[in-house]
Structure 1
Amino acid sequence: MALKLVIFSCLLALAYGSAVPAAIAAAPVVAAAPVAARLEEFDPLPQYRFGYDVADSLTGDYKSQQEERNGDLVQGSYSVVDPDGTRRVVDYAADSINGFNAVVRKEPLVAAAPAVVAEPAVVPARIAAAPVAAAVATMPPLL
């Protein structure tokens, strides 16, 4: 019974607390003072150039990027070493007329060594045949 009384009291307090007094409801709304817009300078010909290289032999993380912008033309390239042992290189360009274009190529990390083919050893026929004949002679007869 005490729990019902506490719940009823809370609901009653909530009902009285949510009512807006007439004096506040009838008060005129005052507009906030206009905030002066901060004008930022517009660069009609933005230019930048940056690049970085990462070579971490502990983790095997090798990558690099270079990029240059002159107005609406952005050109650059990046490379990353893939897990298959090749380096993926992406050359890209972007402008307002052609959009973004990229050319991707894969390069081996090390030059391939010339393949060495081992020639089979030449064994004289009389030496190779002797153990086979001896093995046949010592086999027990089949019943």
Structure 2
Amino acid sequence: MKTFFALSALLAVTVAAPADPYHPAPYHPAPSYHDGPAYYNYGYAVHDDYSGTNFQASENSDGYGTKGEYSVLLPDGRTQTVTYTADDYTGYVADVKYDGYAKPAPYHPAPAPYHPAPYHPVPAPYHPEPTPYHPAPASYHPAPYHPAPYHPAPYNG
């Protein structure tokens, strides 16, 4: 009974305890970004004699128009250079130039003609005569079971 009273009192105190007041997170407006013209300038170049890779690119923008150039070494030995401008008035305008002369592709002789192995027809299917089934004779003959006779012990009481 004392335990019941103690648990009831504990429950009453727990339910009657005031809850912490609600504090919502402070309001932070999303940051605003200035959406003005983009000013940038970049360039890169790769020249690797081991792999034969040779290309470069550069581009700059004043916020209203973009000018750039890129070049690449083509497989035939020529260098292709593209100079371009892009703006709201003329759109994208590219000037493509090629430097050098194309080398002919190296000669590779045609592969040897294919001669498949001669055709040999498949042999006729083999259909053997079925052999009749003769089960083996049963060889297990257990000895008859004869339990020993039961003789109760005499009572000496």
| TM-score relative to the length of structure 2 | 0.44
| TM-score relative to the length of structure 1 | 0.48
Q: Which has the higher helix share?
A: 1
Structure number with greater Rg is: 2
